Amino acid sequence: MSTTVYCKDIEVKLGAHMGMADITGPLEAMVKESGIQNGRLSATIIGSTGSLTTIEYEPGVIEDLRRAIDRMAPREMEYEHEKAWHDGNGHSHVQAAIIGPSLSMPVRSGRMQCGTWQQVVAINHDNRDRTRTVAVTLMGEK
């Protein structure tokens, strides 16, 4: 058996200050399009103020996540980044670093393995709207 590698990007429009989007559907479509039956999906959001995670994508949990992230790296705190760049987004870099830019999901029987209430979510931590690129690589057997 040989290993197949499939690469594709997703463009996601996200609002400022933790704009979020469920990208599970486009990722599942990529798995199907790739023809990979068993392997791994790796995804990375491009940019130092974006992150990827999994969560139940429903309004209450999303708001809980926003509040938790704000408690870890509040906007109103003083950040050394501001002394150099004066762009108001020091918190954005710290928040994104805490969550992380990438994730990996198993693919089994031609499907990305997510729990019933688990979705893949892209987050923009920056202080302005962004269109983010999510670079996706699928590797596995067809």
**What does the domain layout of the chain look like in residue ranges?**
16-141
Residue 132 has pLDDT above 80, yes or no: yes
DSSP lists the bridge partners of residue 54 as 120
Write down the architecture of domain 16-141 according to CATH.
Answer: Sandwich (2.60)
Q: Read off the pTM.
A: 0.95
d(CA 89, CA 118): 29
Q: How do residues 2-30 score in pLDDT, each as one tens digit?
A: 899 999 999 999 999 999 999 999 999 99
For the four alpha carbons of 114, 118, 123 and 129, in that order, the dihedral sign comes to positive
Work out the widest C-alpha separation in the chain, in whole angstroms.
55
Q: How do residues 83-116 score in pLDDT, each as one tens digit?
A: 888 999 999 999 999 999 999 999 999 999 999 9
DSSP lists the bridge partners of residue 118 as none
**Contacts of 71 by beta carbon, 8 Å cutoff, 6+ apart:** none
